[in-house]
Amino acid sequence: MVVDRSSRLDRVFHALAHPARRAILRQLSVGERNLSELASPLQMTFPAASKHVRVLEGARLVRRRVAGRQHLCRLQAAPLRDAVLWTEQFRRHWEARFQALDALLEELKSEERLRPRRS
């Protein structure tokens, strides 16, 4: 099985795996913000927050434009759609009805196994 290391999906999921970065995305969902605005609510130094923004940029979840000394960041949600699409392939596994159906099938199968019809 070929494992495409450092693919786009890797970067997106990795970007989402840190609460600070998820907090940044939530802030950006409201609208454009500069780095200081993004950093101030986080309990860490400015450079740490800046690096988290960089990770989000690497995952193409954030785009930045420089305006004077400010770096204005904007949400780019398209990669999130890809992440959801990948995860959705397991939807049937977490839906209760399917699980119930699964259980029923298993029950029938094991009955079949225990009491095979004579030919």
Partner DNA sequence: TCGGTCTACTACCATATAGTTTAGTATACC
Partner DNA sequence: GGTATACTAAACTATATGGTAGTAGACCGA
The binder of 100, among DNA, a copy of itself, none, by C-beta within 5 to 8 A per type, is none
Which CB, 2 or 117, lies closer to a copy of itself? Answer: 2
Interacting residues with DNA (CB under 7 A): 5, 14, 17-18, 20, 34-36, 39, 43-48, 50-52, 55, 68-72
Smallest gap, in angstroms, from Cβ of residue 32 to DNA?
A: 11
4 binds, among DNA, a copy of itself, none (CB under 5 to 8 A by kind): a copy of itself
Distance CA(39)–CA(1), nearest Å, equals: 41
Min CB(56)–a copy of itself separation in Å:
13
Which of DNA, a copy of itself, none lies near 55, with the C-beta cut-off 5 to 8 A by kind? DNA
